[in-house]
Amino acid sequence: MSTDPPGSPTNHGRSRHWITDVEVTPENSDPNCRFSAQIFMDEELVCDLPEIENTRPLQWSGLLLCDVSPVSTLALRLCKSTRGKPRYFNFPPFKISEADEETGEAMLGLPKSVWVITIKFLTPVIANQLFPDALDRFNAIESAYDSLQPDTTLKYLFKHALQYASLVAKAFPESTAKVSFLIYMKAWELLDQQAQLDETLQATLRGLIRIRDIIDIISQAPDSMLVTAMSHSKEAIHGTLTLLEDVSTHIFNQLTTNDLACVPSEEAEASGIYNIEASIARLEDLQKAFHSSWSPIAFPADTAHTANNTPSDRSELGNNAEAISNEVAKTDWYEIVNLLRPVNPSGYDLDQACLDGTREVLLNKILTWTQNRENAQTFMWISSQVGMGKTAVATSLCQRLDQARALAGSFFCRRDDPNSNNPLSLINSLICDIAMSCPSYARQVAIAIRANPKLCSTHLSLRYEYLVKRPLQRLARISMPITLVAVVDGLDECGDNIVRGKTLQKLFEMSRLVPWLKVIVT
């Protein structure tokens, strides 16, 4: 059992198993007798089970993590102490991987001993049974904010961990994210009972804010793309689930008596302090790894986009799609370029992109939005004060879309450049770019130009009507494998106020003409 999503590159044979209970039968009825036990993993002591008097059932409960290999063994030594005189019973070891997945139980016995040990594991099968009820309890949690009770507000940050695991479980039902979710719930149920939290717990909970951006991005992805998108980030997802399990175990140990508490390592025992700084730093690294690997688009084998040379060979599916040979598509495109003469050079300049590793959250949110066809919004306006980096964001976005062959076209307006501040140049460039990305559109535009060559020298509205609007309307029912995106940066530097308003209206209308095209304007 592992917290890895299926096929995770991090799953190399080791897995995480959770023991939740150790029971001894029959019960102890001797008031002078006490029982304790020790658990050994691969002959190493991992847990000291405290003494139990006859007034309590012979059962130890809590959380014990076992990070093991397929051949790892578990053994238990039972100690019966009568009037201070101990007697030990060494139960034979068994392979942890051989525990019953259906019941989550492993039973140990000795030929000459009356006692039977039952060790209970939280297996994926058991987690699958418990998950729906736990999810209902999670959904019933209501966020709270009260400035007079900051601890109350703070503990609700733990919801991010629960929501994260629930999203992973939704995308990968066969993974053990449900096990992780149940571990987190044990910590939450204790947190929810606390009126005050110590500084370590407060710092731990504040660190979980880093998951919120990841949740926002995953939540934007429709079900149809969720598995594909998350598959790109398997390693970061697995690492985050694992780290949150460790954080939950720490919270559990802090807030209750964990009979199954793991024997601390020599380093941890020497310091006696939970290293929250290391956990937060690790979470930051995982957050960066997620953002750098996240992609809602299935990248083609050859990601080299030929936008500046020849038309793309992207295929369109569907009954109404036209079968256009590459040679015909190239002829259409070259004809359009020769007549419309788009700005050269045009498109995005990599030198203007964001610095590596920056603006990752924003870029991933936008990228996910572009591929979400279940979202009725097809037009995005990005605005901010001058100098806040809109051009850098637009450039980096174009780069990522281009790598995935999802960039329909781009135009970067410049007030001081006559070729880049003209709405006609903007429209011409977008027509040529989209024609390169979609041969079916190139065919429609070529037909329109051959029927009326004067369209290439008309004013904005007429050119838009016959070379953008009507050709796209004829392609509304073709099926595209991915959503194409047109990006226009710096529209406020293009023409005067009246012309800008008309251009903006046309760009908005363009985004509504076909379901496979979205428009982003800054």
User: Which positions ≥6 away from 258 have C-beta within 8 Å?
Assistant: 62, 63, 252
CB of 95 closer than 8 Å to CB of 72: yes
CA nearest 118: which of 105, 129, 131? 105
- DSSP characters for 200-263? HHHHHHHHTTHHHHHHHHHHHS-HHHHHHHHHTTHHHHHHHHHHHHHHHHHHHHHHS--TTPBP
Per-residue pLDDT in tens (0 to 9) along the chain, 522 residues:
544 444 444 445 889 999 999 999 999 888 999 999 999 999 999 999 999 988 889 999 999 999 999 999 999 999 999 998 999 999 999 999 889 999 999 999 998 889 999 999 999 999 999 999 999 999 988 655 555 566 667 889 999 999 999 999 999 998 899 999 999 999 999 999 998 899 989 999 999 999 999 999 998 888 888 888 898 899 999 999 999 999 999 999 999 999 999 998 765 554 556 788 999 999 999 999 999 999 887 655 443 333 333 344 444 444 444 444 555 666 677 788 888 888 888 899 999 999 998 999 999 999 999 999 888 899 999 998 888 899 999 999 999 999 999 999 999 999 999 989 999 999 999 999 999 889 999 999 999 999 999 999 899 999 999 999 999 999 999 988 899 999 999 999 998 999 999 999 999 999 999 999 999 999
Domains in the chain, CATH or no CATH each: 15-121 (2.60.40.150), 124-293 (no CATH), 326-521 (3.40.50)
Pairing type for strands 379-381 and 517-521 reads: parallel
Which position has the token pair 């290439």? Answer: 456
Report the largest interatomic distance among the alpha carbons of the chain, rounded to a whole angstrom.
Answer: 107
Structure tokens at 244: 């949150």
H/E segment holding residue 317? none
CA nearest 158: which of 221, 94, 206? 206
CA atoms within 13 A on the CB side of 128: 13
From CA 488, how far away is CA 473, in angstroms rounded? 21
Sheet containing strand 116-121, edge to edge, reads: 59-68, 15-25, 116-121, 105-109
User: Which positions ≥6 away from 272 have C-beta within 8 Å?
Assistant: none
CB of 405 closer than 8 Å to CB of 295: no
